[in-house]
C-alpha cells in the first residue's frame, strides 16, 4: 500500500512538474520553426499581375500579407509550395491595381514581410492606431502624385493588406491635421455637396469648437 | 459546374471584364483542381461575388444620388464608404467636429468610428470642455451616436 502510494505521488509530481516546461520549450520551438518556415517560404517567388498587365515578383510570405492573395493560394491546396512559383501570375482585377501601385505594394510587403503577423485574438488595435509611422513608412508613403497615392490605398484595400491601408490612412490624416474644411476639400479634391445653408447650419452647431481656435 | 467563364481560355479576355472582381480568382483557382473540389470553390466564390456586388451597388447608388459627376483619380470622392470610414477613423475627435462639413459622405461617416470618449483632468479630450459643464457634454453626446459605454477614468 505504502509503496504504491509513494509511486503515485512521484508520478503525480512528474506529471504536474514536467508538462509546463515541456510546453514552454515546445512553444519556443514552434515559434522558431514557424519563423524559419516563413523565411524559407519567402524565398519562393510568386508573380502578381496588375490590372494593366504588368507582372511583379514577390516573396511568398510577403505576398500572403494580402489576405486576398493568401486566400487564393489556400484555395489551390497546393502542398508543394515550390510549384506555386511556376504557376501563372495571379491576376488582380481592380482598376486601382495599376503597374505603379502594384510595384509600390510589392516594395512595401517585401520590406514588411517579417513583421509579426497581426493576432486577431490579442487586441492591440488601439495601440497600433496611436502608433506613429516608422521613418521607412513615412518615406515610402510620401508620394507627390495624389492619384497614385489613392491608387495604392485603394489597391491595398482591395488586396486586403491591413497594415498598408493603415499607413495610407495615417498619412492622409497627418496631412490634413490642423487644416480648415475648405483647405481639406481643396487638398483632397472633395466635392462640396452641401448647400450654403446646410453648411452654415453645421458651422453653427459646431460653433463652440471654432471658438476655441 | 456553373462557372460561366469556363469556356474562356485566354487570360487576356478575362482582363476586359470589369466585374465581378473575383472572376479572375474563380478562373484561376478552378485550373488544376479536380472537378469535385472546384464545385465547392464555385459556391464559395459566388458568395463573395454577391457580397461584392451588393456593396458596389450601394456605392454606385450613393454616387448617383449625391455625386452625379465622375471624379478624377486624385479625388478622395473615388473612395467608397468603407474605405473612407476607415480613413476617417484615424482622426482625433476635435478634427471630426471640424471636418463634419467637408462633404455629405464625411458627415455620414465621420462619427461612426468614434466609439470612445476620453477625459483628461476632468475635461473632455484635448479641448477643454469641463466634465461638469452638463450642457456642453450633453451636446457632444448628442452628436456622437456610436459611443459604446463610456468609462470615466480619473
Nearest to A160 by CA among A99, A105, A198: A105
The more confidently predicted of residues B37 and A42 is: A42
The answer to whether A129 contacts chain B (CB < 8 Å) is yes
- Among the three residues B66, B85, B112, which one is the final residue of a domain in this structure? B66
Same domain, B116 and B131: yes
A48 three-state secondary structure: strand
The answer to whether B73 contacts chain A (CB < 8 Å) is yes
Residue-wise DSSP of B8-56? ---HHHHHT--SSTTHHHHHHHHTTS-HHHHHHHHHHHHHHHHHHHHHH
So what's the pLDDT on residue A47? 92
Cis peptide before B122 (omega within 30 of 0): no
Q: What is the ipTM of this complex?
A: 0.75
Range of the domain at B14: 7-66
Long-range interactions of B6-14: CB distance < 8 A, separation 24+: B6/B30, B11/A88, B11/A91, B14/A91, B14/A93
- Give domain status of residue B82, yes or no: yes
Strand order in the sheet with A45-49: A55-59, A45-49, A90-91
Nearest CA in chain A to B10: A88
The answer to whether A23 contacts chain B (CB < 8 Å) is no
Same domain, B125 and B84: yes
β-bridge mates for residue A58, sequence order: A46
The total of other beta-carbon atoms located within 10 Å of residue B19's CB is 12
Q: Domain count for chain B, please give it.
A: 2
A156-170, B14-28, B108-122, B133-147: least confidently modelled range:
B14-28
The stretch A95-109 carries a mean pLDDT of: 94
Dist. CA B62–CA B90, nearest whole Å: 23
Among the partner-chain residues A172, A190, A192, the one whose CB lies closest to the CB of B75 is A190
- Does A77 sit within 8 Å of B37, measured CB to CB? yes
CATH number of A43-117+126-177: 3.30.710.10
Same domain, B104 and B47: no
Q: Which residues contact B25 (CB under 8 A, 6 or more apart)?
A: A72, A75, A93, B45, B48
- Give domain status of residue B1, yes or no: no
**Which stretch, A179-183, B6-10, B66-70, B115-119, has highest mean pLDDT?**
A179-183
Among the partner-chain residues B25, B76, B91, the one whose CB lies closest to the CB of A188 is B76
Q: Which residues contact A112 (CB under 8 A, 6 or more apart)?
A: A62, A65, A163
Cβ(A117)–Cβ(B57) below 8 Å? no
pLDDT exceeds 50 at position B106: yes
Residues of chain A with C-beta less than 8 angstroms from the C-beta of B28: 72, 88, 90-91
Same domain, B77 and B55: no
Same domain, B53 and B87: no
- Does B18 sit within 8 Å of A184, measured CB to CB? no
The stretch B19-26 carries a mean pLDDT of: 42
So what's the pLDDT on residue A7? 45
> Where in chain A does DSSP place strands (E)?
45-49, 55-59, 90-91
Same domain, B101 and B126: yes
Same domain, B76 and B57: no
The answer to whether A204 contacts chain B (CB < 8 Å) is no
A34-38, A171-175, B15-19: least confidently modelled range:
B15-19
Cα torsion at A3, A8, A11, A15 (round to 10°)?
Answer: -170
Nearest CA in chain B to A169: B87
Same domain, B40 and B93: no
Amino acid at each position: 500500500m505504502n509503496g504504491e502510494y509513494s509511486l503515485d505521488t512521484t508520478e503525480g509530481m512528474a506529471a504536474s512538474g514536467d508538462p509546463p516546461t515541456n510546453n514552454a520549450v515546445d512553444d519556443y520551438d514552434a515559434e522558431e520553426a514557424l519563423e524559419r518556415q516563413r523565411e524559407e517560404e519567402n524565398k519562393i517567388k510568386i508573380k502578381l499581375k496588375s490590372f494593366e498587365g504588368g507582372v511583379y515578383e514577390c516573396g511568398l510570405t510577403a505576398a500572403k500579407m494580402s489576405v486576398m492573395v493568401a486566400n487564393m493560394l489556400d484555395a489551390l491546396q497546393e502542398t508543394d509550395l515550390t510549384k506555386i512559383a511556376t504557376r501563372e501570375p495571379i491576376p488582380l482585377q481592380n482598376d486601382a491595381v495599376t503597374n505603379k501601385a502594384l510595384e509600390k505594394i510589392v516594395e512595401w510587403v517585401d520590406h514588411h514581410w517579417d513583421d509579426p503577423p497581426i493576432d486577431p485574438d490579442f487586441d492591440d488595435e488601439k495601440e497600433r492606431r496611436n502608433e506613429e509611422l516608422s521613418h521607412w513608412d513615412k518615406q515610402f508613403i510620401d508620394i507627390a502624385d495624389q492619384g497614385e497615392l489613392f491608387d495604392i490605398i485603394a489597391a491595398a484595400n482591395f488586396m486586403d493588406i491591413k497594415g498598408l491601408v493603415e499607413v495610407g490612412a495615417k498619412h492622409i490624416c497627418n496631412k490634413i491635421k490642423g487644416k480648415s474644411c475648405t483647405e481639406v476639400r481643396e487638398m483632397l479634391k472633395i466635392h462640396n455637396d452641401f448647400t450654403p445653408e446646410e453648411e452654415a447650419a453645421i458651422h453653427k452647431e459646431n460653433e463652440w469648437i471654432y471658438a476655441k481656435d | 459546374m456553373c462557372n460561366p467563364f469556363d469556356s474562356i481560355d485566354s487570360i487576356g479576355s478575362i482582363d476586359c471584364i470589369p466585374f465581378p472582381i473575383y472572376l479572375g480568382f474563380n478562373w484561376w483557382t478552378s485550373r488544376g483542381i479536380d472537378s469535385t473540389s472546384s464545385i465547392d470553390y464555385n459556391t464559395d466564390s459566388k458568395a463573395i461575388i454577391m457580397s461584392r456586388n451588393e456593396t458596389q451597388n450601394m456605392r454606385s447608388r450613393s454616387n448617383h444620388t449625391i455625386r452625379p459627376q465622375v471624379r478624377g483619380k486624385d479625388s478622395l470622392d473615388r473612395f467608397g464608404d468603407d474605405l473612407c470610414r476607415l480613413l476617417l477613423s484615424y482622426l482625433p475627435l476635435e478634427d471630426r467636429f471640424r471636418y463634419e462639413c467637408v462633404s455629405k459622405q464625411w458627415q455620414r461617416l465621420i462619427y461612426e468610428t468614434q466609439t470612445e470618449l476620453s477625459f483628461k483632468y476632468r475635461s473632455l479630450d484635448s479641448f477643454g470642455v469641463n466634465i461638469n459643464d452638463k450642457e456642453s457634454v450633453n451636446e457632444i453626446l448628442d452628436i456622437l451616436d456610436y459611443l459604446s459605454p463610456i468609462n470615466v477614468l480619473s
